[in-house]
Amino acid sequence: MKMTRAVRLPQKTDPDDLVYLLKAIGRDRQSIREIDSIVEKNLFVSRRGLAQYHRLLGRRFAKDLSRLKSNQIWLDSGMGAGCAIRDYYRKFPRTAQVIGVCVRFAGDPHEKIQIESRGARVLVGEKIEHRRLQDLGRPQLISDVFGPLTYSQDLRVVLRRYFQVLQIGGVLHTVDAHKLGARSARCLFIDQQRVLTLAEFLKTLKGIEVREQVLGKIVAIRVQKTRTKVPVPRLRYLGQYATRMKVYQVLR
């Protein structure tokens, strides 16, 4: 399925008026509620295993994960209860190094001890926006499944963290909400007079290659780093419409 192109706003659109903005791009409250339901269903799922990662992120993620060598790092950002990491250790006897990051570990203490005993580093207590870069290593693969890219209001810091630590040639896998038959997303970017989804915004950045795939009501996004530096423009957080859809203004 082809992705929709960026929507252009009327010249008089006021980016500070979210209601007017959403009306200008033809988005109604029912569409917003449907996107909210997709995000609500996924945002607070803390026991998502590796099979669910594969279903949400697609075959490209499964292939990238299986190709990791023992001297490479997988950073699972927003790891929940660490179920995907646990499943990874069970499936791959010779594993890569794993770093899991979350504000609060959602599993039992013995589950955390179990994955740490296999070699995982579990970083708990701080948002990734506040983590030191050296804590995150130099990953070849980063997964963000309804993690910081969904809940953070400082998206620029999260993206800069990811691109700063990611190896050249390494990949970031994340997701967006998608309503079949209509243009929808969990976050929108106002870039001058254009309205961009997360994937469309990422495609405007230099130093990365972006691919997207519609998987039901989810868009799987694969971002490969191709240069040492990936500049991310300043973003002004305009607010949240309804419960979960965030809107940003791109400041160039």
Instruction: List the domains of the chain with CATH numbers.
Output: 7-251 (3.40.50.150)
H or E element, residue 195:
strand 194-196
To which residue do tokens 């292939």 refer?
Answer: 63
Beta bridge partners of 210: 223
Q: Which of 54-63, 69-78, 100-109 has the lowest mean pLDDT?
A: 100-109
pLDDT of 185 higher than 90: no
Residue 57 and residue 146: Cα distance in Å, rounded?
11
**Number of C-alpha atoms within 13 angstroms, CB side, residue 46?**
12
Tell me the pLDDT of the chain averaged across its residues: 83
Residue with token string 């419409």: 241
Residues 112-163 have pLDDT tens digits of: 999 999 999 999 988 899 999 999 999 999 999 988 998 888 999 999 999 9
Q: Of the candidates 35, 102, 211, which has an alpha carbon nearest to the alpha carbon of residue 200?
A: 211
Structure-model confidence comparison of residues 94 and 9, the more confident one:
94
For the chain, the straight-line distance linking the first and the last C-alpha, in angstroms and rounded, comes to 31
Tokens 């997709």 correspond to 38
Q: For residue 222, what are the β-bridge partners? A: 173, 211
